[in-house]
Amino acid sequence: MRIGVIGLGAMGLGIAQVFASVGHAVFATDAQSGARASARDRLAQALAPRVAKGVLSVDDRAALLSRLTVVSRVEDLSPADLVIEAVVERLAVKQAVFGVLEPLLSPDAVLATNTSSLSVSSIAHGLSRPNRVLGLHFFNPAPVMKLVELIPHAGTDATAMGLVRGVTEGAGKTVVTAPDRPGFIVNRCARPYYGEGLALLEQGRSAAEIDAAMVAAGYRLGPFALIDLIGADINLAATEGLASAMADHPRYHIFAALRAQVAKGDLGRKTGRGFVMGEAPPPSDAAAIALRIEATLVNEAAWLLAEGGVSADDIDTAMRLGLNFPRGPFEVLAGYGREKVRETLAALEAEAPAYLKGRYAPAPMFA
Ligand code: NAI
């Protein structure tokens, strides 16, 4: 299949690698001449560790690189059957890119967006063939992360979905169908992991002990180590985006501790100072901390499920692969049982200050 990629930043180049590595011809472009000129070298560099380890032969790397054609004009993407855009996260820019591309492509070609926070239907709006538009959300780094969220909007054709699912699975990815709702699956269902950790922090618990409780429960990284890894600024922006898209619902409350961290510039790994400055053993109530955080993870997933367009299995798969969680929220639910989750949410609601009570309102399956 001929695949086009627009935007050769971190994501676009990674996506180009994913498809070129399984034999597809990839045509790629970027608005910046520097990004175009450096793309091949950056890809070669990205592959270097695999060549050094002997996982990829020098010949295979050369073959992979030969499948990437960097073009300077958008018109040169016209033979593509599927074009994936990974340009800057701005609605007007993405709409303009698709507006220019659509008349150049065959009527059956599919336009996919790698947006992480914009609505797919708003990107498709105004095009002649919105039925050929969908979201294809890769995670960073695209060549490493197994998960891809496939996001139809209300008018996306089943044939476009099938074509993109097939080619993406063929590139070794696990594809889940996500609804065209804010945060899709992973970025939304992850919120309570951080939010409930921050609620505990504001109640006087330390970041290190909260993290230790989650590690003891089987999570590879606690919420604060994860925030430090990704960056408190990125976490704040993601939470703010979701909060505003969800009418400031208290489930997406922005905790003052997170804002303060960003205001201080203690963004985590990239600035050398973060939430977790040392290790702690799991506290004596580690199981209760894990139950609290997991009950809110389950509740968020249950709200998403109730809104429709997604299956419990896909939510579980997405949370395991997208966040490296040891189990998905519905597997967590099966472990605790409905009654335990219901009781935990009710106790949290009873204890919460008025402005946070709505955070613990149980999803329909617990009501
Ligand atoms: P980036 O800033 O590394 O790359 C964006 C590239 O797009 C730049 O090279 C820029 O020159 C180019 N560009 C901007 N406007 C353009 C236009 N009109 N035509 C052609 N090229 C244009 O950004 P990154 O991180 O690769 O993100 C790209 C997209 O992927 C965004 O929508 C982002 O939300 C999404 N995404 C990012 C993830 C991440 O962790 N970085 C994860 C999943 C999705």
Identify the band that residue 365 occupies on the pLDDT scale cut at 50, 70 and 90: very high
* CATH number for position 273: 1.10.1040.50
| Pocket flag, ligand 1, residue 87 (CB < 6 Å) | yes
Decide: 319 and 329 in contact? Cβ < 8 Å: yes
The span from the CA of 179 to the CA of 314, in Å, is 11
Together in a domain, 172 and 251: no
**Ligand 1 mutation target, pool 6, 8, 30, 74, most atoms within 8 A of CB:** 30
Residue 63 has pLDDT above 90, yes or no: yes
Identify the band that residue 15 occupies on the pLDDT scale cut at 50, 70 and 90: very high
Together in a domain, 166 and 198: no
| Pocket flag, ligand 1, residue 256 (CB < 6 Å) | no
The span from the CA of 209 to the CA of 20, in Å, is 44
First-to-final CA distance of the chain? 48
Together in a domain, 340 and 197: yes
Q: Print the domain residue range for 55.
A: 2-177
Number of domains in the chain: 2
Which pLDDT value is given to residue 23?
Answer: 97
Q: Which residue is it, tokens 């939010």?
A: 195
Identify the band that residue 238 occupies on the pLDDT scale cut at 50, 70 and 90: very high
Identify the band that residue 214 occupies on the pLDDT scale cut at 50, 70 and 90: very high
| Pocket flag, ligand 1, residue 311 (CB < 6 Å) | no
Together in a domain, 12 and 79: yes
Catalytic positions, written as ranges: 116, 137, 149, 187
Give the rounded percent of residues in the chain with a pLDDT score beyond 90. Answer: 99
Which pLDDT value is given to residue 278?
Answer: 84
Which pLDDT value is given to residue 367?
Answer: 83
**Could you report the per-residue pLDDT of 262-310, keeping only the tens digit for each?**
999 999 999 999 999 888 999 999 999 999 999 999 999 999 999 999 9
Together in a domain, 204 and 155: no
Average of per-residue pLDDT across 141-159: 98
